[in-house]
Amino acid sequence: MNIKTASFYTLGCKLNFSETSTIARDLENEGFAKVDFETGADIYVINTCSVTDQADKKCRNIVRKALKYNPKAFVIVIGCYAQLKPNEITKIEGVSLVLGAQEKFNIKNYLKNGFENQETILRNEPIKNVKTFYPGFSLGDRTRSFFKVQDGCNYFCSFCTIPLARGKSRSGSVSETVAKAKEIGRSEIKEVVLTGVNIGDFGNGTNENFHQLIQKLDSVNGISRFRISSIEPDLLNNDIINFVSHSNKFTPHFHIPLQSGSDNLLKKMRRRYDTKLYEKRIKLIKGLMPNACIGVDVIVGFPGETEDEFNKTIDFLKSLPISYLHVFTYSERANTTAPRMDNLIPMEERRKRSKQLRILSLKLKLKFYNSNIGNINNVLLETHEDDFLIGFTENYVKVKIPFKEGILNTIQKVRIDSVNSSIEAFGTIST
SS3 62: helix
Nearer to ligand SF4, 19 or 191 (CB): 19
SS3 201: helix
Rg of the chain, C-alpha, whole Å:
22
For residue 170, the minimal CB distance to ligand SF4 (Å) is 13
Give the span between the Cα atoms of 378 and 286, in whole angstroms: 19
For residue 342, the minimal CB distance to ligand SF4 (Å) is 21
Per-residue DSSP letters for 314-382?
A: HHHHHHS---EEEEEE----TT-SGGGSS-PPPHHHHHHHHHHHHHHHHHHHHHHHHHTTT-EEEEEEE
Sequence-separated (6 or more) residues with CB below 8 Å from residue 107:
23, 26, 27, 45, 76, 78, 99
Nearer to ligand SF4, 267 or 363 (CB): 267
* 340 CB-contact burial (10 Å; exposed 0-12 / middle 13-18 / buried 19+): exposed
Give the span between the Cα atoms of 391 and 412, in whole angstroms: 10
For residue 196, the minimal CB distance to ligand SF4 (Å) is 10
Nearer to ligand SF4, 41 or 153 (CB): 153
For residue 86, the minimal CB distance to ligand SF4 (Å) is 21
For residue 163, the minimal CB distance to ligand SF4 (Å) is 5
The strand pairing partners of 146, in sequence order, are 193
Nearer to ligand SF4, 167 or 427 (CB): 167
Nearer to ligand SF4, 163 or 261 (CB): 163
Nearer to ligand SF4, 100 or 233 (CB): 233
Nearer to ligand SF4, 6 or 160 (CB): 160
Nearer to ligand SF4, 84 or 197 (CB): 197
Applying CB under 6 A, the residues found at the interface with ligand SF4 are: 153, 155-157, 160, 162-163, 197-198, 232
For residue 169, the minimal CB distance to ligand SF4 (Å) is 8
Exposure class string for 315-328: b at 16+ Cβ within 10 A, else e: ebbeebebbbbebb
For residue 302, the minimal CB distance to ligand SF4 (Å) is 12
Sequence-separated (6 or more) residues with CB below 8 Å from residue 71:
none
For residue 256, the minimal CB distance to ligand SF4 (Å) is 12
